[in-house]
């Protein structure tokens, strides 16, 4: 079946006419399906990354149901302010066809999904969106969520997986990336910090998004105000430091994740400040003192972790993240390591900013 034919298997209110690849995600295949006067989002779910599609879609169905209730209760517009699944003709949340899995969403029109921050206010609003998202799900029964990727942000187990990839050296690439391998090993002690504090109860476990890249929030294309938080595949129990940190990783760097000119890669402190302001305004009253203290460290650790994952995938032969040219994962790893080091160098300044907005 073509993508248009797949789209016709869902409860669409207009006949799908055309489909084209859409967006810049590294995991799923996303298509924009057009009909007369209407568009839809259709995604082929990456079931190598998410083997339990039924569990994943059950999570998303229940999370979007709760988000919708909250948006309605707050007097918002549920058609624009939360993601909405379009069921299949037989009432399921996804379609299975010849070993592939598809889902469909309402297309949230008149929005921006940004790859880099063009106007600082956009970053501020993305922080409001992710902070609000966490609050909206505060009452969600976390233990009923399926852990779609176990240990997703467990940086200590990401470190172990990286060492296993070095040992396997499946593509014979380890020799050429010795400097990068040493960069990771020198920071091994950092990788256990958040997981240890979660295990000891010094940091609370929350329902978090876990993939808070700027392009995973849709902003109104006129006002910049936050509309729907999207890409809910990784909503799972986690730490607020993961959500804060991953946004800092992606949004404070002025370049793309695969920028080759590392002199352009750094943490823009003014953008860190914008994000901190928005995040603390939206959910600061529910964060503990320990969480607030460690927010900048979360930015550092999520950046280091992402670099470790790109490097491990490069060593394994690029089996996880989509690549568009051979050394892309290595380029991505370089930007993350440069940025992680820069965030660490600026740590005192960043901690002072958190204190400034901690009301």
Query: What is the Cα 261 distance to its own chain's centre?
Result: 24
Sheet holding 226-229, edge to edge: 111-112, 217-220, 226-229
Q: Which residue has the tokens 């999370």?
A: 63
CA distances from 27 to 83, 283, 321 (A): 18, 29, 6
- Which residue bears the tokens 């600061």? 284
Structure-token match 């503990």, residue found: 288
Site membership for ligand GN1, residue 49 (CB under 6 A) = yes
Helix (H) or strand (E) holding 114: none
Per-residue binder mask for ligand GN1 (CB under 6 A), 297-336, x = binder: ---------x------------------------------
Is residue 113 at the binding interface for ligand ADP, with CB under 6 A as the rule? yes
Of 59-67, 90-98, 105-113, 333-341: span binding ligand ADP (CB under 6 A): 105-113
Q: Is 229 in the site for ligand ADP (CB under 6 A)?
A: no
Contact residue for Mg ion among 88, 126, 208, 216 (CB under 5 A)? 216
Q: What is the DSSP letter of 44?
A: E
Examine residue 23 and tell whether it contacts ligand ADP (CB under 6 A): yes
Count of residues in the chain: 359
Select 34 or 154, whichever has its Cβ closest to ligand GN1: 154
- For residue 211, the minimal CB distance to ligand GN1 (Å) is 5
Cβ atoms 221, 123 nearer than 8 A: no
Residue 181, CB half-sphere, CA atoms under 13 Å: how many? Answer: 19
113 makes contact, choosing from ligand ADP, Mg ion, ligand GN1, none, with CB < 5 to 8 Å by partner type, with ligand ADP
341 binds, among ligand GN1, Mg ion, ligand ADP, none (CB under 5 to 8 A by kind): none
The residue ranges that bind Mg ion (CB under 5 A) are 25, 216, 231
The residue ranges that bind ligand GN1 (CB under 6 A) are 25-27, 49, 211, 213, 216, 231, 233-234, 257, 306
């Amino acid at each position: 079946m073509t993508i248009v034919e797949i789209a016709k298997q869902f409860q669409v209110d207009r006949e799908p006419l055309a489909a084209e690849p859409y967006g810049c995600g590294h995991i799923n295949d996303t298509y924009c399906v057009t009909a007369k006067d209407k568009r839809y989002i259709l995604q082929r779910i990456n079931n190598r990354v998410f083997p339990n599609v039924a569990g994943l879609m059950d999570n998303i169905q229940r999370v979007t149901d709760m988000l919708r209730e909250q948006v309605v209760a707050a007097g918002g517009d549920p058609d624009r302010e939360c993601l909405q699944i379009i069921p299949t003709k037989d009432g399921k949340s996804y379609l299975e066809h010849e070993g592939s899995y598809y889902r469909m969403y309402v297309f949230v029109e008149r929005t921006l999904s940004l790859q880099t921050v063009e106007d600082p206010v956009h970053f501020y609003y993305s922080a409001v969106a992710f902070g609000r998202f966490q609050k909206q799900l505060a009452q969600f029964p976390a233990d009923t969520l399926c852990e779609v990727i176990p240990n997703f942000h467990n940086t200590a187990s990401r470190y172990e997986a990286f060492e296993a990839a070095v040992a396997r050296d499946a593509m014979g690439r380890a020799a050429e990336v010795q400097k990068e391998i040493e960069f990771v090993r020198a920071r091994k002690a950092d990788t256990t910090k958040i997981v240890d504090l979660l295990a000891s109860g010094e940091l609370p476990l929350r329902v978090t998004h876990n993939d808070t890249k700027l392009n995973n929030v849709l902003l109104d294309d006129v006002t910049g105000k936050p509309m729907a938080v999207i890409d809910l595949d990784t909503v799972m129990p986690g730490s607020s430091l993961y959500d804060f940190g991953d946004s800092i990783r992606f949004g404070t760097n002025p370049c793309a994740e695969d920028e080759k000119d590392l002199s352009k890669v750094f943490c823009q402190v003014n953008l860190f400040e914008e994000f901190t302001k928005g995040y603390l305004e939206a959910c600061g009253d529910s964060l503990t003192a320990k969480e607030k203290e460690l927010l900048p460290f979360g930015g550092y650790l999520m950046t280091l972790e992402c670099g470790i994952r790109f490097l491990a995938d490069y060593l394994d032969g690029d089996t996880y993240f989509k690549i568009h040219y051979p050394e892309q994962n290595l380029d991505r790893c370089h930007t993350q390591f440069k940025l992680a080091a820069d965030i660490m160098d600026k740590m005192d300044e960043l901690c002072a900013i958190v204190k400034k907005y901690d009301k």
